[in-house]
Amino acid sequence: MNRQQLVQQIKEKNNYLCVGLDTDITRLPKHLQNHPNAVFEFNKAIIDATKDLCVSYKINTAFYEAMGIKGWEALEQTVDYIPSTHLKIADAKRGDIGNTSAQYAKTFFEVYHFDAVTVAPYMGEDSVRPFLDYPDKWTIVLGLTSNKGSADFQQLVVRTETEDFLSELTPEYHHKPQYLYEKVMQRIAEWGTPENLMFVVGATKSEQLQSIRKTFPDHFFLVPGVGFQGGSLAEVSNAALNDDGGILVNVSRAIIYAGTNERFAEEAKIIAAQYDYEMKALFPTK
């Protein structure tokens, strides 16, 4: 799915919701626990209930990999079942180099037919480039994440030798700090374009999100953290929406685990509809 197709879906629905299929087999309703294909049956019901209320689905591959071959089979069935009108994201956070990175790209783009995959950029351009080389596919690179540990590296202040020298020479010298995540994102933006490159920016970082949007006015952002992690949909939307939408707000547990019994899909639809209603009010119509 290319950018034009994604934007068309967002504008037709006035909706930028991504439903996260982080399906934990231990949390499935009791009536599915003994089903031979429980994870896919659960995902299928969620997709049927929410497909008119979202534009994307994100599959966190860790929940499927942990199940071995059965998990990969459920993943493949789920990807194939998601309508072609919806962006299919593999939340895999791969981050190796060279031939290994190329094999990861082949796995998710050729074997499992995802439209996008999340990538960790720590090892540099050669860990990202193989994904970017696929036409009409999206590489979603980790920018500023919502977890507590993002402070360990992403939010470190990056100073130049000149700034250090001026600070020592003139104690009154003040310079707006640049954080490591900003420098990383600026470099990554040189490798791709707004047509094939997105960034992950956590919803709990709404203040920084506004600044990031100014720096990257055209790129799409995948925004996790709304829902159980406490991010505000209104704050995220006000900070980062642009004329094309420009954001995909991911909600996982708050939707897929809204219900715990046979009516779980109906409960999921109710929560997804609430997000849809809010997004229609927040989306800039022109």
- Mean pLDDT of the residues in the chain: 91
Residue 114: the pLDDT is 98
Judging by DSSP bridges, how do beta strands 116-119 and 138-144 pair with one another? parallel
pLDDT mean over 136-141: 97
What's the CA angle centered on 231, arms 229 and 232, to 5 degrees? 145
Q: How confident is the model at residue 154 (pLDDT cuts 50, 70, 90)?
A: confident
User: Residues 232, 206: contact at Cβ < 8 Å?
Assistant: yes
Strands 197-201 and 220-223: parallel
**How does DSSP assign 35-60, residue by residue?**
-TTHHHHHHHHHHHHHGGG-SEEEEE
Q: What is the pLDDT of residue 171?
A: 58
pLDDT score for 8? 97
pLDDT given for residue 80 in this prediction: 98
- Residue 169 makes CB contacts below 8 A (sequence gap 6+) with none
- pLDDT tens per residue, range 13-46: 999 999 999 999 999 999 998 899 999 999 999 9
Is residue 58 flagged as an active site residue? no
Q: Which of 11, 93, 269, 286 is catalytic?
A: 93
Report pLDDT for 175. Answer: 57
Query: Cα-Cα-Cα-Cα dihedral of 186, 188, 193, 197, to 10°?
Result: -120
Residue whose pair of structure tokens reads 């939340």 in the numeric block = 91
**Does 106 have pLDDT greater than 90?**
yes
Looking at domain 3-148+192-282, which of 3.40.228.10, 3.30.365.10, 3.20.20.70, 3.40.30.10 is its CATH number? 3.20.20.70
Q: What is the pLDDT of residues 239-285, one digit of tens each?
A: 999 999 999 999 999 999 999 999 999 999 999 999 999 999 998 76
- Which of these ranges, 25-29, 36-40, 169-173, 175-179, has the smallest mean pLDDT? 169-173
- The whole-number pLDDT of residue 274 equals 97
Q: What is the pLDDT of residues 109-119, one digit of tens each?
A: 999 999 999 99
Q: Which of 1, 21, 11 is nearest to 251 (CA)?
A: 21
Inter-residue long-range contacts of 270-275, CB under 8 Å, 24+ positions, other chains counted = 272/17, 272/19, 272/49, 272/50, 272/53, 272/54, 273/53, 275/17, 275/53, 275/233, 275/249, 275/251
Q: Which amino acid makes up residue 247?
A: I
Cβ-contact 242, 222 below 8 angstroms: no
The pair of three-digit structure tokens given for residue 126, joined into one six-digit string: 């050669």
Q: How confident is the model at residue 195 (pLDDT cuts 50, 70, 90)?
A: very high
What is the tens place of the pLDDT at every residue in 41-99? Answer: 999 999 999 999 999 999 999 999 999 999 999 999 999 999 999 999 999 999 999 89
